[in-house]
Structure 1
Amino acid sequence: MTRPPRPIAPALAARLTGSSTGFLGTLFDLARRGTLRIEEGPRKWTGRTFEIVRLDGAHLESARSEHAQDLSSHEQVFFQALFHKAKADRTNLSEIGSLSYNSCFSAVLDEELVAAGWKDPERQKRRTRFLAWTGLGLLLGLLVLVVGITLAVAPQPFNTWIMTTALVLIGGGAAVSGVCLVGLLIAALISTQSDEGVRQATAWNSFAGYLRNITRGREPGISPDLFERYLPYAAAFGLATEWAKYFQKQAEVPVPEWFQGLQSSLDDGSFVAIMAAISSADSSASSAGGASGGGASGGGASGAG
């Protein structure tokens, strides 16, 4: 598939396919629509610096503002999370990484998928219950296992009854833990998408594959104007850096109007640098999200839910 299956927000397409970088697609989509600008700052000893600038009219102090009405729910959450300081019109590019483990952003995307009929709330409830029960079973199994091991190694005169009990607890705890662990893995693979959602996800996965093939040089006759046109989707599918590097090698690819670099062309690598910076921020944020127990949920097989 060489075109987007339908005109939907990049973040929704990413959520459908299980990609966790939908927020990057939102960034570039809003920039293309004239809501944001990305500026390159003076170089520091640590490397290039970039800022995301909120343009006039993009303030969301009131949810009833004219501009807010032009934004989808997840785009409003995106703005509020990125510019969390009151009346702040500028923020470092590294702040974009915080969206990778923003639970509100993920939740609003899921709500939009439900509203579109692509996510089944009943399937979500069943999977949640299954996860809860198997998780509880795993904890109980581990507790029984620990009790059994404690009885077995405790310093005491040999007692057949105690040793038998310990072995039974160890065996039972290990068995229950193993079964519940498998149950958790199965639950994680249960799709929460509706039948139509599965069809949409298949179509968008096909389009993502097309974009991936472009970055690998496997698609001939690629027009330079595809760079900016499909950049939001490429970024949403985790291909931002590869996308910029590919088009940097092509002729007559202009710098987008919403990007202000220190140079006037892609040849100096400035735009590739911003992609690399975003990828680095995303990687750091994902690590932080995992350490804090957050993280944007997703996975193609699980319906990104």
Structure 2
Amino acid sequence: MKLSIGIYKKSLAFWIVVGLIFGATALLLRRNSQQISASSELPQEVTLPGAFSGTVVIARSGAVTFQGKPVKGTLKTHKDFDEFQLKIFDEPGVSFGQARVDVVLPFSVSEPSIKITPYLIHSFDSQVGVQKIAPSTIEFTATNIAPEAVFTVNVQFGKGLIAYPWLTRIAQFFSTISFGSWIVLSLVLPVPTLLYVLYLLYRQSRVSIAPSAAAVISSPPQDLPPAVVGVLKHGSVSARDIGATLVDLARRGFIDIFWRESGFSFGKRRDFHFYSLAEMNISPTIRRAKTQGLRGYEEVLLSKILPPEGYRSTDDDIVVRVGHRLFSPKMAEVFTQIYSIATAHGFFVKNPAAVHRTIRRRGIALFVAGVIGFAVSGILGPDPKFFLIFWVGMIAASLLIIDLSNLVPLRTPHGTKVLGDWLAFERYLTDRKEISYSEITAGVFERYLPYAIALGVEGAWTYRFRRHPFAPPPWFGTTTNNISLEQFDRELFPLLGWVAQSLVAAKEPTVE
């Protein structure tokens, strides 16, 4: 079998756009900022012992050149002053008899705020000097420079003497904020986000579940698909709902599930045709797929795990069918249709899929902005990089939004009333009292098993049959002889969990 890997076009386009934004932002910052970059090495005009001379020009815009070549990372800003510092020699490895560097400023040397300091270390019997040779030019000199010497020129001057580009001014402003202030700013996004989510949870908890007329209901209160019941209880589609749907399809005679120690397989029990999403033109309302007795999302789900031709799909086949795309539009359609059915019944104020999609997209956009900001600031930003804490806070807030987006949809009063009835039925499923043998022969275990899975109580439901003879459902095959109820649980539920989790993981990230 040849394995082909496809990429969902929207996902590919999304990451291409992210890459273009990142590259354009980095290029823009490099072109417009003079110190939002790592220090460049000083161009070396002289490599032989003797005399060294050069000229540094500082432009009004903050651009610095040495011998006509740009030098970055030499201008730094502080709270009360700006500073120019340039290493002329950093252990050059050879001796110099003398060195002269002229620094041309964009303002007069007579400015009262100017402080001029040369530094020469690791060099004995040396002398350094500073003098004004023009209204805006300072001459730095040094003699007897040793091979291991470090010669640095430093000029400090008042704020406002250099008109930095606007991006540089923004970076300068942020660089003057203290570490403690950045800690506070980093909480500006995550804390309100967390409070908002907690508020939504509080609102959800305030919507009281209407008590049922009976404490326990011994049959499903409505003819609803198991997946919709799971959404009604939990607020979002989960792997449980997918697993419950597969068991319900098996119970209704569409598929067989066969377990063996080396793996498992799904088989068709009926000869039905799969339509593509375009062919089906799926309606978001409750419907049956063509005339096959399948709901729309059920047909889409089956087309994801079963081949269009043939009658059997092994666990290896499912791995290929689930993993041949980066994201699966079919699984996104399954989620969307389940949400649409729940909304059409009036259980939710607004379609949960639309709410999840809007909030997750905002969270993803915030995450991308945080990652780009962190990367660009980390690479090009001035020291100290306290402002990176802000981007960490933004990323944390975005992850919080993405992770908790499924908590937002609120049930309607009708939805809470219906949920109360289903919770009364759940109490029947979890009752510790054993089920009588006559009910077993009536097939109640198999009939209610999908609902038990969707409600998350399949273990308690099977426990009610623990002391009675057990015959596996006709749709479940196994290599185990004389299978017991406990063995049935150990074989069916893990394979359902694996398949359902794999299918859920394949959906598009904009659907929760």
- Displacement of 1:59 in angstroms is 0.8
Tell me: CA distance 1:95–1:222, structure 2 relative to 1, closer, same or farther (3 Å): farther
Is 1:109 the counterpart of 2:338? The answer is yes
The offset of 1:209, in angstroms, is 5.7
Q: Which structure shows the higher strand fraction?
A: 2
2:301 is aligned to 78
1:296 & 1:200 partners in 2: Cα distance?
28
Determine if contact 2:359/2:405 at 8 Å carries over to the other structure.
yes
What is the CA distance between 1:142 and its match in structure 2? Answer: 3.8
**Alignment pair present for 1:89 and 2:308:** no
**2:418 is the alignment partner of 1:196:** no
**Aligned residue number for residue 235 of structure 1:** 453
**Which segments of 5 or more consecutive residues in structure 1 lack a partner in the other structure?**
153-161, 299-305
Aligned counterpart for 1:60 among listed residues 270, 273, 285: 273
Tell me the SS of whatever aligns to 1:21. Answer: helix
The match for 1:8 is 224
Tell me the TM-score normalised to structure 1 length.
Answer: 0.67
* Structure (1 or 2) with the larger CA radius of gyration: 2
Shift of the 66–49 alpha-carbon distance from structure 1 to 2, 3 Å rule, reads same
1:281 alignment partner AA? W
Counterpart residue number, 1:140 = 369
Q: Is the 8 A contact 2:356 2:511 kept in 1?
A: no
Letter in 2 for 1:4: P
- 1:249 aligned to 454, 466, 469, which one? 466
Per the TM alignment, residue 251 of structure 1 is displaced from its structure 2 partner at its CA by: 1.2
User: What is the CA-CA distance between 1:8 and the residue it aligns to?
Assistant: 0.9
Corresponding pairs, count: 271
Instruction: State whether residues 255 and 265 of structure 1, in contact with CA within 8 Å, keep that contact through their aligned partners in structure 2.
Output: no
Structure 2: gaps spanning 5 or more residues: 1-215, 281-287, 323-327
Q: Check whether the contact 1:151–1:163 (CA below 8 A) recurs between aligned residues.
A: no
Please report the TM-score for the alignment, with normalisation by the length of structure 2: 0.43
Q: Which amino acid aligns with 2:228?
A: L
Query: 1:11: Cα distance to partner?
Result: 1.8
1:36 aligns with 255
Match of 1:159 in 2: none
CA offsets 1:16-48 (integer angstroms, 9 cap, x no match): 2334222222222222223333345xx5xxx25
Q: 2:246 aligns with which of 27, 30, 40?
A: 27
Matches within 5 A, 1:165-176: 166-167=385-386, 169-176=387-394
Partner letter of residue 226 of structure 2? P
Q: Provide the residue aligned with 1:281 in structure 2.
A: 498
Gap change, CA 1:134 and 1:23, over 3 Å in 2: closer
More helix by share: 1
What is the aligned partner in structure 1 of residue 475 from structure 2? 258
Give the number of the structure with larger relative contact order, counting CA–CA contacts within 8 Å between residues 6 or more apart. 1
Partner Cα separation in structure 1 for residue 487 and residue 422 of structure 2: 30
Residue 264 (structure 1) shift: 6.9
Question: How has the CA–CA distance of structure 1 residues 94 and 132 changed in structure 2, closer, same or farther, with 3 Å as cutoff?
Answer: same
Over the aligned positions, Cα root-mean-square deviation in angstroms equals 4.1
Contact 1:73-1:108 at 8 Å conserved across structures: yes
Task: Supply the AA of the counterpart residue of 1:73.
Answer: G
Q: Per-residue deviation at 1:193?
A: 4.4
Which residue of the other structure, out of 220, 225, 236, is the alignment partner of 2:433? 220
Deviations for 1:190-232, whole angstroms, at most 9, x for unmatched residues?
Answer: 1154443344345445544653x35xxxx21323523212112
